[in-house]
Amino acid sequence: MTMRPFDPITEGFGRRPPNYALGWPLSERVTVRKIKRRTADAIYENHHSYIQRGRQGWHYGVFLDDALVGAITFDAWPSQSTIHGYESAQIREVARVCIVNSTPNLASCAMARAQDIFLAEHGDGIELLITYVRDGWNGTMFAALKSKGWQEDETVKGRSRGPHHGESEIHDIYKADKTRWVCQV
């Protein structure tokens, strides 16, 4: 018998909250708090649309009506390159966002809260947040966060190898063009 990986959304956190209609007030229903890396990894493994492995960094759970419905992970910028003159030590990446509930505006509401919490806890010296949205995905969550400082930056071309030296396996995500979004803190 093959063991299925533990899925914290469907196996262990009780009932699934309903999907609320557009216009339903979310501010009193959405909370964001720290979660363990293994919980975030299980969410990405079971639900992330194109890359099922997590990252190190800082992990936050997204809760709707106190039920876990997703995860957001911030991580150090893994490159030694600069972006708009900011050095890698000043940059943090929104490395994963995965929301397993189709309530409109839930992802942008959760991301705004996670950003505030992350910067309050770990923001000293951070001057730029970045994220990448795969070509073909519209990035509406970050477009909705213009009031938080997010703006579409540029298209980054896919590459033929993985990001790490000597990496033999390349995931399709590395081959895809991506839109970079930036947020000056």
Q: How many domains does the chain have?
A: 1
Decide if 32 is inside a domain: no
Q: Cβ distance 97 to 72 under 8 Å?
A: yes
Domain assignment present for residue 64? The answer is: no
pLDDT band, very low/low/confident/very high, at 13 (cuts 50, 70, 90): very low
Residue 177 structural domain: 74-184
Q: What's the pLDDT at 24?
A: 81
pLDDT of residue 28: 87
100 located within any domain: yes
Residue 98 has pLDDT above 70, yes or no: yes
Tens-place pLDDT, residues 100-130: 888 888 999 999 999 999 999 999 999 999 9
Q: Pull the structure tokens for residue 98.
A: 């995965």
Residues 114 and 121 sit within 8 Å (Cβ to Cβ): no
Whether 2 is covered by a domain: the verdict is: no
- pTM, two decimals, is 0.83
Is there a domain that residue 130 lies in? yes
Phi, psi of 94 (to 5 degrees): -80, 95
- Whole-number pLDDT of residue 159: 67
Domain contains 45: no
Note whether residue 54 is domain-resident. no
Residue 62 lies in a domain: no
Q: Is the pLDDT of residue 83 over 80?
A: yes
3-class SS of residue 4 = coil
Instruction: Read off the pLDDT of residues 152-171 as tens digits, 9 standing for 90 and up.
Output: 888 888 765 555 545 545 56
Tell me the per-residue pLDDT of 45-59, one tens digit each, with 9 for 90 and over: 877 655 656 678 999
DSSP letter, residue 71: E
Q: What is the CATH number of the domain that holds 145?
A: 3.40.630
User: What's the whole-number average pLDDT of the chain?
Assistant: 81
pLDDT at residue 149 in the model? 93
* Residue 155, helix vs strand vs coil: strand
